[in-house]
Amino acid sequence: MEKETANPQEYSANFKLRVILDVLNNGLSIHEAVRKYWDVTSHVDIDRYRKTVRTWRRLYEQKGANVFMKDSTPRKKASQSNVPELTPSTKSSEYDLAALLAENEYLRMENMYLKKLRALILKEEQEKRARRKSSQN
C-alpha cells in the first residue's frame, strides 16, 4: 500500500479514485476505507479522514472521475524534472513542450481510469450473467 500524506490536498488523483471506487464497487463503508488506506489509531484521525472520503465521494458522484483527474497538486516526476519554469519571457516552443507534457500526463491518468472502469463493468456483466444462469437452472 502506498503511503500518502496527511494533507488531503496532496493526494494523487489515482489514490482518490482507488479509495472511492473501493467504497462504491466493493461495498466498503467509509469507515472501513479509512482504516484500510490510512494508519489511524484515534477517533479524531478517523473522523478527519472520513470527512475527506465523504467529500471525495460527493465530488465523484456529482462530477465524475474527471474532477480528480484535474488534480492541481504540483508534482514533479523524474521525466519532467528538466522542464524549464514557465515565465512570460519563455519561448513559445518551451510553452508547447510543457503543455504537451501536462496533457500527456492527464491522458495517461484518464486512460488508466477508463481501463479500470471497463474491467469493472465487464466483471459486473459477467456476475449478472452468472446469476441469471444460476437462477434459470
Query: For 64-75, how does the pLDDT look when each residue is reduced to its tens digit (9 = 90+)?
Result: 777 777 645 555
14 vs 121, which has greater pLDDT? Answer: 121
93 vs 36, which has greater pLDDT? Answer: 36
Rounded CA-CA distance 52/43 in Å is 14
Q: Which three cell numbers stand for residue 88?
A: 512570460
SS3 118: helix
pTM beyond 0.85: no
Closest residue by Cα to residue 78 from 101, 100, 109: 101
Q: Which three cell numbers stand for residue 2?
A: 502506498
Rounded CA-CA distance 32/14 in Å is 19
Rounded CA-CA distance 97/99 in Å is 5
Q: Which three cell numbers stand for residue 6?
A: 496527511
> Taking the CB of residue 135, how many other CB atoms lie within 10 A of it?
7
For 75, residues 6+ apart whose C-beta sits below 8 A from its C-beta are: 12
pLDDT at position 9 is 54
- Tens of pLDDT, residues 105-132: 888 998 999 999 999 999 999 999 998 8
